[in-house]
Structure 1
Amino acid sequence: MDGYFSSQIGLVPSYRLSVILLGASSLLIGLFTNIFPVVFSAISFGSSYIFMTGVLIIWGIHIFQTNPSFGLGLPFLLLALGQVFGSLIGGGVAGVVGYKAMFILFAMISFIALIFKPVK
């Protein structure tokens, strides 16, 4: 699906769409505590995270064409490191400002990723 979608609209729009969906799902859970927005946030976050993983793998393989295994492994490594350190930082921030503020803050920070553009 990622390869098909990215080939139809392009790598940069696919990347930006996944960033927007990830940030919006975090913002949604920070703003609302009702069951429907929370469930929609979880579904949106999970599916857009998987989609972004595919986009980053395609991007990595595209960048490292002479060594595609490196292009495949590097995004996975960086995603794993982001999960480890993001969880540590998120827990610390939530302990200081609370969970709602943490989700809103992290959503706003995630939109910074929109300034980065995959190499064509």
Structure 2
Amino acid sequence: MRYSDFQGERISLLGFGAMRLPLLGDGSGKVDEAQTEKMVDYALDNGVNYFDTAYPYHNGESELILGRCLKKHPRESFLLASKYPGHQVSETYDPAAVFERQLQKCGVEYFDFYLLHNVCENSLPTYLDP
């Protein structure tokens, strides 16, 4: 695996995105967690250390599933990114509470990277100070 250095972090050039995980074959639309776990293990075993998820992926299940799949691996063996869903939350949402819930769903104490999700003309006001 090839790596890049970003502000002191050694990041694999190939990352694992959890936006489109394998689904069960029963038509339920649910994620095949066993297959996802095999994929996560394979990625880590082959040098991938960057994992990316977000609040809305798989109807909110991606963070939970990726967190469970990564749980058995030492926290220092992977870099985890998630995203603030400003385009999905109302003005009454508390950003700190959303962030804490995402940490809980992923089963980690911190994110290595936390991004603003889907910043575009329609969502820009959500991200700007009033």
- TM bucket (normalised to shorter chain) is under 0.3
TM-score by length of 1: 0.27
TM-score by length of 2: 0.26
Higher helix share: 1
Higher strand share: 2
Q: Which has the higher contact order (CA 8 A, sep 6+)?
A: 1
